[in-house]
Amino acid sequence: MPRSTASSKTPDATAAGAPADTRQRIITAAKEEFARYGIAGARVDRLAKQARTSKERVYAYFSSKEALYQHVAEQELTALVEATQLDTADLPGYAGILFDHFTAHPEHYRLITWGRLELPDSGPDAARPLQTTIARKIDQLRDAQRTGLLDPGWDPVDVLALINQIATTWAGQPEIAAAAAEYATNTSADARRAALVTAVERLFPRTS
């Protein structure tokens, strides 16, 4: 009788089968691992276990831990861009959308921030997708100034920087967010959102 091959199956084959499934499980586990521990603190053997595969299989798909992080970070940035489209006629609304995204996905903010801290010199190729997005938004703001939607006295770069900073106030300062949950007059997340939207509205009023 032919010998059964069941005992020779790899964890990948028994868990999901297709290589694409294994790769996606690795990416999903890596998002959680990097968001929680950063790049230096992340462990490939731990995320491999979470992905139900082997450390060797992880390196078969990604040449290094840093390469895996870059791939995951690019996916997260793409998701962020798609979820937070800039409407130059409603910059306060855009700030609210950013707030909503990072409130719903705090791990996205942490994952991106780890890269800023640990890979500041990762090179132009790694930064290009984000830089392309930033350049496009700056061009949108310049167009808004030309058509009278935005005060031309502002430098568009400053507009984008200020809005992003205000919108991520609570995501970037979890200790103050925790204090607000206890000491604020209104402790709801809606109150935090309303405050930052109002701040942006006073700087860059809606024109729609």
Residue 16 clears pLDDT 50, i.e. is over it: no
Helix, strand, coil abundance in the chain, percent, nearest 5: 75, 0, 25
Residue 35 and residue 11: Cα distance in Å, rounded?
25
User: For residue 144, what are its two tokens?
Assistant: 């808004």
Residue 142 and residue 150: Cα distance in Å, rounded?
8
> For 105-122, how does the pLDDT look when each residue is reduced to its tens digit (9 = 90+)?
998 899 988 988 887 665
Q: What pLDDT was estimated at residue 153?
A: 96
Q: What pLDDT was estimated at residue 11?
A: 46
Share above pLDDT 90 across residues of the chain, in percent, rounded to a whole number: 67
Residue 53 clears pLDDT 90, i.e. is over it: yes
Residue 130 clears pLDDT 80, i.e. is over it: no
Total residue length of the chain? 208
Residue 9 clears pLDDT 60, i.e. is over it: no
